[in-house]
Amino acid sequence: MDKRPASIPSPKKLLYDYIAEQGTVSKLDLLNVFSFTKSTMTRILEEMTNEGLLIESGFGESSGGRRPILYQINPSYGYILGLEISRVYSSLGLFDMHMNPKSITHWRMDQTFTPERFLEHVSLQTRAFLRDHQLEESQIIGMGIGAVGPLNREKGLILTPLHFPAAGWNNFPICRLVEEQLGFKAVLDNGANTALLGERWSIRHANIQHMLYVHAGAGLRYAMMSHGQIVHGTMDMEDAIGEMIIQTDGPRLNNKGNSGALEAFVSLQALEQRARSEASMSRDQFLDTYKVTAENVNYDVLVKALRDDHPYALKLFTDAAFHFGIGLANVINLFHPETIILGGALIQSHELFFRTAVEVAQNNIYRYPEYRPQFSLGTLKEEAVVTGAAIMVRNQMDLGIK
């Protein structure tokens, strides 16, 4: 029996991951990176090709002799499902091994989406994907899940998520139930981490090593990547950014968490609470314009007002973006990433929010402008979580030790 720790990848896995990252490579390219002998490299590539892991994809440029064979991973070796579990919208995607999306579906989460109904919906959508693409269950390698935290990743549990419209999500064994109902291996991480994996994959050829992802929506979530690897704490830390104190003795969101925490200023819930409170104290034209009572002011109404350039909505969102920029600067000053990707409903609400948050963050970044991180809305956006969840499964593939 091989005594090496499971964390040490096999030679096949090392080659497979490198080829997946690069796209197409020659044997010489691989020999320049890995310390295998030429005969060992030839043997491993032949084995991986015979097993269907790799395919030959043409010939490279000649350097004086025979043109080298180029290799890439086989896109149809298997297929992977990526699942997003979020508070507002959830998604399911089917991907080939190149992370090309074959099908992706999104649905709105409401009070009817209990865990039981959610799993039923996922099961029906999965069967539809298989039918549409004429796939067998045996061709599915697994399902990656990016979910709202906090989580227990090792046990595959969603622990105590806040702000879900339906009840029943506490201590929910999502991985076990997916495996029982669908028969696929399931792996779990928080949605911010999988979103960052997805976004980093979309710009992998830029070779960015240090990245930050922040999602501002029903709550605040974030993820960090250092040297190309997701940073995991001793506990799931996805929502920790929301508890960052930016105003001593400030408000609390729903009488929970820290006083003066960032989430009390920057979240769908925070904006709704402020708007309802201010509307109830004065009969503003805002209520008459949008034909709502103070109690019925919700995020959809506020976004419509923002896009109508209503002065009250502009101030409300500008204030939130200012506070968000302060929180963002605090995280950046601790980490100094190369790229910061911002996502979520608040970021997408209006270009004003993104612009204001970035300007405030830049004005409060230590050593700016010598240090100039890149701010981005991302490439994959609403498909980042499911893509990253699928990548997580591919990253954990066991290719054996030979």
Say what the pLDDT of residue 282 is: 62
Say which amino acid occupies 99.
M
Of residues 2 and 385, more confidently modeled: 385
Mean pLDDT of 101-117: 96
* Superfamily holding 206-378: ATPase, nucleotide binding domain (3.30.420.40)
Q: Element (H or E) spanning 31, and its range?
A: helix 27-33
| Candidate from 157-161, 194-198, 396-400 with smallest mean pLDDT | 396-400
Say what the pLDDT of residue 280 is: 72
pLDDT(1) > 50: no
With pLDDT > 70 as the criterion, what percentage of the chain qualifies? 96
What is the C-alpha to C-alpha distance for residues 319 and 314, in angstroms, rounded to an integer? 9
**CB within 8 Å of 105: residues ≥ 6 apart:** 91, 92, 93, 125
Say what the pLDDT of residue 7 is: 61
pLDDT(131) > 50: yes
Give 4's pLDDT tier (boundaries 50, 70, 90). Answer: very low
Q: What is the CATH number of domain 79-198+384-395?
A: 3.30.420.40
Select from 277, 253, 256 the least CA-distant residue to 265.
253
Give pLDDT tens digits for 222-259.
Answer: 999 999 999 998 888 888 999 999 999 899 988 888 99
What is the C-alpha to C-alpha distance for residues 144 and 82, in angstroms, rounded to an integer? 5
What is the C-alpha to C-alpha distance for residues 160 and 187, in angstroms, rounded to an integer? 18
Write b or e for each residue in 193-217: b if 16 or more Cβ atoms lie within 10 A of its Cβ, otherwise e: bbbbbbbbbbbeeeebebbbbbbbb
Q: Judge whether 193 and 398 are in contact, CB under 8 Å.
A: no
Q: What is the DSSP letter of 3?
A: -
Give pLDDT tens digits for 244-302.
Answer: 999 998 999 888 889 999 999 999 999 999 999 888 776 567 888 888 888 889 999 99
**CB within 8 Å of 364: residues ≥ 6 apart:** 325, 326, 329, 333
| Candidate from 6-10, 144-148, 218-222, 359-363 with smallest mean pLDDT | 6-10
Mean pLDDT of 52-67: 84
Identical fold for domains 11-73 and 206-378, yes or no, is no
- Stated length of the chain: 402
CATH class entry, domain 11-73: mainly alpha
What is the C-alpha to C-alpha distance for residues 258 and 247, in angstroms, rounded to an integer? 10
What is the C-alpha to C-alpha distance for residues 262 and 90, in angstroms, rounded to an integer? 24
Give pLDDT tens digits for 329-338.
Answer: 999 999 999 9
Give 385's pLDDT tier (boundaries 50, 70, 90). Answer: very high
Q: Judge whether 277 and 291 are in contact, CB under 8 Å.
A: no
Q: Where are the domains of the chain?
A: 11-73, 79-198+384-395, 206-378
pLDDT(88) > 90: no
